Structure 1
Amino acid sequence: MPLITTVLTIALYALLILVFVRAALSWFSPHPTSEWQRLVFRATEPMLAPVRRWVPPVSGLDLSPLVVTMAIIFVIAAIRSIG
């Protein structure tokens, strides 16, 4: 795999981990109090906020992390098929 696709894939996996951490933090600690929690929220909110406007909560459950996760996995698969 060329270097650019490898770097892009690693960055997308890191982003995927951040989305998972964000989802877990919203279940256990909805209001970020520590600096690393605020960092995770600031890193993921630009992706989640637009999705949240289009996908309404289902029974109070925010589905935006699921939609963003599926999109990231789709992009990773596309990059792997190209590279």
Structure 2
Amino acid sequence: METLLAILSVFSYYSRPALFAAACVVAVACALSWATRTRRVSPFTPLGRFARERIDPFLRPVEAPVLNAGGSPTTIPWWGLAAFIVLGILAQSLLGYVIGILDMTMRGLSSGPRGAVRAVVQLIFAILQIALMIRVLSSWFGSLARARWLRWTYTITEPLLAPLRQVVPSLGPFDITPLILYYLLQFVGAFIVRSI
């Protein structure tokens, strides 16, 4: 377990500059695609053909939602860059969260039976919070919300969200019960851990 934590810490340390370098490359590629789409670079030159053949296929997952929302086709590269940056930040945050959970679990398990019980309780609450975050983030993308490999998040969070939805009034199209549940899990988890 200690070696896994060390490997993840090293990976997290070196993945930040790697993600920044990748974001710079993606920014240049998106700028080239934008220049081709706005005809600042002719689509029939070798550079324009390269953009259409090699860069635009990577932007197709972003294209449909942008166009369906009424966006301009020329802004698709910038939306792709924004999606890359946001996903990179989320991946780094999730990795840091996992490293923190593993570190907390290791320290708890090495401090006797009481520490082991604390570690298990903290781990259960952390898994519930991660599932809640994944559920909310996947709901922002229609196809991800129905993905088979994400159903476990709905399975373990819906029994907690359903009673809250009956108590908390809706705010128009916004469902704030996941946010309330997230903070409730933090509060209850900290209270239980302190009482052990």
Q: What band does the TM-score fall into relative to the shorter chain?
A: 0.7 to 0.9
Q: Which one is further off, 70-79 or 26-35? A: 26-35
Q: Deviations over 1:44-71 (max 9, x none)?
A: 1111111011112213110110111111
Question: 1:13: which partner in 2?
Answer: 126
Report the alpha carbon displacement of residue 14 of structure 1 after superposing the two structures with TM. 1.0
Query: Out of 117, 121, 126, which is 1:4 matched to?
Result: 117
Report the alpha carbon displacement of residue 30 of structure 1 after superposing the two structures with TM. 7.2
User: As a proportion of its length, which structure holds more helix?
Assistant: 2
Question: 2:178: which partner in 1?
Answer: 65
Bigger Rg, structure 1 or 2? 2
When the two chains are superposed, the root-mean-square deviation of aligned CA atoms in Å is: 1.9
Question: 2:155: which partner in 1?
Answer: 42
Distance 1:38 1:9 in 2: 23
Change over 3 Å in CA distance of 1:57–1:30 after alignment to 2: farther
Unmatched segments (≥5 aa) in structure 1? none
Change over 3 Å in CA distance of 1:81–1:16 after alignment to 2: same
Q: Percent identity?
A: 30
Distance 2:119 2:177 in 1: 26
State the TM-score, normalizing by the size of structure 2.
0.39
